[in-house]
Each structure stands twice: as structure tokens, then as C-alpha cells.
Amino acid sequence: MNLKKLLSLLLIFCLIFSFVACGGRDKDDDDDGRSSKSSSQKYDEDDDDDSSKDKNDKDDKDDEDDEDDIDDDDDSSRDKKDDEVKKDDQSSKKDDVLDKYDEVDLPVNYPKDIFPIYKNSRVWFAMADKSSGYQTFSISAVCKESNEKVASFYENIIKGTADFNDYSMDNIYMYSGIYEGYEYTISCAPEDADKNYTMYTLVLEKLPSADELLDSLNEGELPDDYPSNYFPIIDGAAISNASESERDGKVSYSLHIFTDKTFKEILAFYEDAIGEITNKSKSSSTGDFDLSGEAHGYDFQINGHAREIDGIDLVEFWIYLYPLD
């Protein structure tokens, strides 16, 4: 029951009690007048006794009415207090947006030291998934704080990190990038119309290490007769693909390789492994490299370029061997 309705009812009750009390007193006064007039003409002594008795009865009745009024006032006061308590409880539950969400636990291996949960937040959705091949976390939480303050908290953590992007607009904030081995997307938006609460999400994908990535790329196998003693595979590299083709009894080879070594390391490795090279050609720049010539009965070419995969810098290169006539 709302306060306005409660006050209206109390006012009505007070008016009713007032009318009842006034009506009772007027009726008694009229009866006393008529009784006094009759007694003066006939039985003075009896009328005095009756008048005294009526007066006592009236006093007793008034006392009872007063007690009833007090009891009714006490009941009304208690009802009012009970209604106010209920109203406060209902208002409190309605205003507390957090009560709409059931709290869940974070995944055991969630990196909360890198991407902490905002203070006093209620995490209502938390999932860990590996279906993509890499560990992914999806977290949704709500807190009693302004949208700007929550967004600022996370921006201070990730601003300036690799591939940082700010897609914020109006009153919605969204950031993406790479930080501490995770590719992240963080978004914040108001949960309620008054903007007293904020809903935010964190989507994190664990990026593999260079060794893990190379291991996942290592899907090819060297052909049985490949001359690995003259054209070896650099240490730790991944053979993505390897093929051979034969023409007029002569076999050519093509290898597709990934490594985390630098251009300088790759060139030095193959120059040393191949040894003497005739018609040698070598070039290198910030984006690619090339080494070619003739050696060990093959016209060879080794070239490649820099490439970023899942936030990790690698070098993708090819080795081509063509038998000399």
C-alpha cells in the first residue's frame, strides 16, 4: 500500500470517529433535556435519580469510546509502520539491480591477475572454451558504478598495448587488442536508465607461444629422397607442406616452412649448411629476403617474408630445388 493511500484511509477513519463521537454527544444531550422537562412536572425525585444514572451511563460510554479511539489509533499506527516497512523493503529490492542476477564462479584458470574483475561486481556469466584450439574466456558482470568509471579502470590496464583499438561511441565503451599473451575485447554499457549500474563483458583468447604455434603449423613431412644433408631444415622450424615432382627421371622439391628465426639467422644458417655456391645471389630487407644459386647438383632458391600469426612474429619461407642438367 502506498503512503498516499494510507494517509487517505487514516483521514477517513479520523473523520468517522469524529462524527460518531459528536453524534453520540448530541443524542445524549437531547434525551437529557426531554427527561429533565418531564421530571419537573411529575416525579422530581425519580427524575433526579434517573438523570444521575443517565449521566453515569453516559460517562461510562464516553470512556469506552475514548478507549476504542486509542486502540484504533494504535492499530492504525502499527498498520502504517508495517506498510512503511514493507514499502521500504520492496523499494530496496526494486532499486538493487544486482538482485536480478545470480552470481557464478570464475573459471579456475581465468587470468584475474592480468584482467581483474572490477571491485564489488557480480559475475553472472562465465565460460571457458577450447573449441577453437586455444583457451577462450567469456565473462559478463554487473556492478553499482558509473559506466565511465568502469571503462576508465580497464582502459588504464590495456591502453597502449599491442594492436590497441578504441571503438567507443556515445555512452558505450569498447576496446580490443593484445596484452600479456591474450587477444582481448572489453565492452562497458549502462545497465539501467539512471546509469547508476554498469554491465561489462570481457572476451579473452589465449594466444599460443611461438613454439606452440610452430607445432600447430608443422603438418608436412620431407620426401624420402630429399637432400637434407645439403639443404637442411633450420632448427625448430615447422614444415607446413613438402612436395616433389619428377620429369625425365629428375626430381624437383618444394618446401613451405615457418620459423621464428630472423632473416639474418636464416641466411647465415643456409650459407653455412650449403657451403660453396656458384652464381650466388643474396638480398635482404625489412620485409623479405632471398638466397639463390647453384650447389650440389641443384639450382636452388630460398626466399621468404615476415608474417604475423595470432600476434606472433614469424618468418614464412620456401625452398625450391631444381636438378641441374
* DSSP string over 43-55: -HHHHHHHHHHHH
Which of 9-13, 155-159, 247-251, 303-307 comes out lowest in average pLDDT? 9-13
User: What is the spatial distance between Cα 207 and Cα 228, in angstroms, rounded to a whole number?
Assistant: 32
What value does the mean pLDDT take over residues 173-201?
A: 93
The percentage of the chain sitting over the pLDDT mark of 90, rounded to a whole number, equals: 60
Can you give the pLDDT at residue 129? 94
pLDDT at 226: 97
Mean pLDDT of 105-120: 96
CATH architecture of 212-323: 3-Layer(aba) Sandwich (3.40)
When pLDDT is cut at 50, 70 and 90, the band that residue 36 belongs to is: very low
So what's the pLDDT on residue 91?
Answer: 46
In this prediction, residue 7 carries a pLDDT of: 38
39 or 201: which leads in pLDDT = 201
Q: Specify the higher pLDDT residue, 39 or 282.
A: 282
Q: What is the sign of the dihedral through the CA atoms of 222, 223, 228 and 229? A: positive
Higher pLDDT, 244 or 49: 244
Question: Residue by residue, what is the 3-state secondary structure of 206-240?
Answer: ECCCHHHHHHHHCCCCCCCCCCCCCCCCCCCCEEE
The label of the residue with cell 639467422 reads 265
Longest alpha-carbon distance in the chain: 162
Average pLDDT over residues 187-208: 92
Which range (133-137, 234-238, 283-287) has the least confidence?
133-137
Mean pLDDT of the 3-24 span: 39
> What average pLDDT does the segment 21-25 reach?
42
Q: Please check the confidence at residue 64 and state whether its pLDDT lies above 90.
A: no
Q: Which of 42-51, 72-81, 171-180 has the highest mean pLDDT?
A: 171-180
User: Quick one: average pLDDT of 300-313?
Assistant: 92
Centre a 10 Å sphere on the Cβ of residue 78 and count the other Cβ atoms it contains. Answer: 10
List of residues 6+ apart from 211 with CB closer than 8 A? 236
- Mean per-residue pLDDT over the chain, rounded: 81
Q: What is the pLDDT of residue 267?
A: 97
- Residue-wise pLDDT for 67-106, tens only, equals 555 555 565 666 656 666 555 554 444 457 899 999 999 9
In this structure, the strands spanning 198-206 and 182-190 are antiparallel
CA 154 to CA 116: how far, in whole Å? 9
Fold (topology level) of 100-207: TBP-like (3.30.2030)
Q: What is the mean pLDDT of residues 239-266?
A: 96
